[in-house]
Amino acid sequence: MVRVKSRYLLCEINVTDRNRLFLLTEKDIYLAVKEAVARIHGDYGTAMCSTRFCVKYLNAQTGMVFLRFPKMGYKLLWSALPFITSIGTRSQKTPCFLNCLHVGDFKTITGVGLKPCTYKIVTFQETSKTACLFNR
């Protein structure tokens, strides 16, 4: 039996208004990426997206996204990311772009992707503690 291999892309969602990140869902990102791959690579890209592509993780605080794709076609996804200019439904589009930070397996992605998130959380907690001390 052969194990199915996947590649994970760690991407950062860059928006002008950080409050718009809270409006995005995993389904919106999934549909935007799938549409971009279909637009750039046609039927072949659509078929590659339909096999094992999914959004594994979305953090609205930091704008980090984990995208899973089959190993043999992850370059299709990677090459279509610059063509995403907005994410969302038809009535409410969020203008943004995706910046690919790292490509690898799940172990390396979580190591690279979660360190900045935990650092931001710790610094936020420290600043909130000092703000509480000054407000007393």
Beta pairing class for 86-88 and 64-70: unpaired
The one-letter code for the residue type at 123 is T
Total residues found in the chain within this entry: 136
Structure tokens at 118: 């935990």
Q: What tens digit of pLDDT does each residue of 48-61 get?
A: 778 888 898 888 88
pTM of the shown model: 0.76
DSSP state of 3: P
Task: Report the candidate in 113, 100, 112, 108 with the shortest Cα–Cα distance to residue 9.
Answer: 100
* pLDDT given at position 117: 56
d(CA 9, CA 66): 6
Q: What tens digit of pLDDT does each residue of 35-48 get?
A: 999 999 998 888 87
Q: What tens digit of pLDDT does each residue of 97-120 get?
A: 888 888 888 877 777 766 665 555
